[in-house]
Amino acid sequence: MVRVSTGARIHFGFLNLSLARSRLYGGLGVGLDEPRVVVTAESDSEVRCRHPDAREYAERAVELLGVPGADVVVERTLPRHAGLGSGTQLALAVLRAVATANGREADVRKLAPEMGRGGRSGIGVATFEDGGAVVDAGHPTARFTIDRPEDGSWTVPAVAARHSVPDHWRFLLVVPDADPGRNGAAEESSMRAVVERADPQTSDRIAGIVTRRLLPALAEGSAERFGEAVESVGRLNGTWYADAQGGVYRPPVGALVSVLAESPAVYGAGQSSWGPTVYGVTDADHVDAAVEAGRTALSEADIGGSVTVARGRNHGSQLD
């Protein structure tokens, strides 16, 4: 039996959603040590798996790898469609587990598109491979239309920049009891509408923040400046999505972010992907105060939820 484990990821936003610029998408994100996906697999003559999503991924992996089958068990998983990368991390963990259980090597980056992953954003694949804080290169606009291509017809965006997350940084995760983030057909429809009318000047402002604030903050290890930069990127991304999600942040994220912004222990806050997960950037010296700010945010919004803290993950998936 083999066991594959991998962590969640935060998606801070995209570099560009306008068809008027030469490259489309370009994700920004960071790998986390928790929460985690843990999958085990043993070789088998057929596919056996009780988890419906994992079973679908296992069946696809078996076909791609040309192996007889696998007995797959999901020991831990991420909340679905919460903004933490549940689909990609589960799909790739299953792929690697099935391959290894059958004595095969899986080129995760090459096979991710065949698994239906890594289309618009390459952050989930990149953090599964190597962890860290990542900026991906996006796609040439001329070759990537607003419609979702068929599985396997794209390549995962290359990693344009990767930095290790400093040991003292921490990431606050506030997950309210709210509807899941957009996915499937609803997500495709929303993304089409966003890309068709995205303001290209917003992309230019984001590029300035990334090159002059976000990447220098990573290189210098400043959690404060990094938090401020990713919050700015998130707000600008939110202007693209405002019509699709009912504001710069989807409800109730805006209310939570407003409360977190008042805490000196939280250097920057925002919405991960389509939410509802809210992230906050802090450090080891301010964890308790940041957690208290998260609980206060949920209380003032009169909504239940969980508040946890994660470290950055500077390595890829683990195989045991």
DSSP string covering 132-188 = SEEEE--EEGGG--SSPPPTTSS-PPPEEEEEPPPTTEEEEEEEES-PPPP-HHHHH
C-alpha–C-alpha distance, residues 117 and 111, integer Å: 9
* Bond preceding residue 113 cis, omega within 30 of 0: no
Predicted pLDDT at 134: 98
pLDDT the model gives residue 208? 98
Cα-based distances in Å from 2 to 38, 210, 271:
11, 39, 34
- The predicted pLDDT at position 320 comes to 93
Contact 269, 261 (CB under 8 A): yes
What's the CA gap between 116 and 94, in Å, rounded? Answer: 13
Alpha-helical (H) ranges within 43-164 are: 52-65, 86-101, 108-111, 123-130
Range of the domain at 227: 2-319
Matching residue, tokens 């001329």 = 142
Phi–psi pair at 127, nearest 5 degrees? -75, -30
Res 182: pLDDT: 62
For CA atoms 58, 59, 61, 62, give the dihedral sign: positive
Is-contact 314 308, C-beta < 8 A? no
Handedness of CA 223, 224, 228, 234 (dihedral sign): positive
Task: Quickly count: other Cβ atoms within 10 Å of residue 131's Cβ.
Answer: 24
Q: What is the pLDDT of residue 312?
A: 98
277-313: pLDDT as tens digits? 999 999 999 999 999 999 999 999 999 999 999 999 9
For residue 176, what are the contacts with CB-CB under 8 A and spacing of at least 6?
252, 253, 256, 276, 278, 298, 301, 303, 304, 305
Pairing relation of β-strands 305-310 and 268-271? unpaired
According to DSSP, residue 81 is labeled: T
Give Cβ neighbours of residue 91 (< 8 Å, ≥ 6 apart).
57, 112, 115, 116, 117
Please report, for residues 31, 117, 283, 313, the alpha-carbon distance to residue 167 in angstroms, rounded to integers and kept in the order given: 13, 29, 9, 9
Nearest alpha carbon to residue 307 among 251, 238, 260: 260
- Write out the chain's pLDDT in tens, 320 residues: 999 999 999 999 999 999 999 999 999 999 999 999 999 999 999 999 999 999 999 999 999 999 999 999 999 999 999 999 999 999 999 999 999 999 999 999 999 999 999 989 999 999 999 999 999 999 999 876 666 667 767 899 999 999 999 999 999 999 999 988 666 666 677 788 889 899 999 999 999 999 999 999 999 999 999 999 999 999 999 999 998 898 999 999 999 999 999 999 999 999 999 999 999 999 999 999 999 999 999 999 999 999 999 999 999 999 99
Q: Which CATH number belongs to the domain containing residue 103 in this structure?
A: 3.30.230.120
User: What residue has token string 């989807």?
Assistant: 250
The total of structural domains in the chain comes to 1
16, 17, 22, 23 alpha-carbon torsion, rounded to 10°: 70
pLDDT at 246 (0 to 100): 87
Neighbours of 221 (CB within 10 A): 15
pLDDT score of 149: 66
Contacts of 105 (CB under 8 A, 6+ apart): 99
Host H or E run for residue 212: none
pTM comes to 0.95
Q: Encoding tokens for residue 116?
A: 């239906």
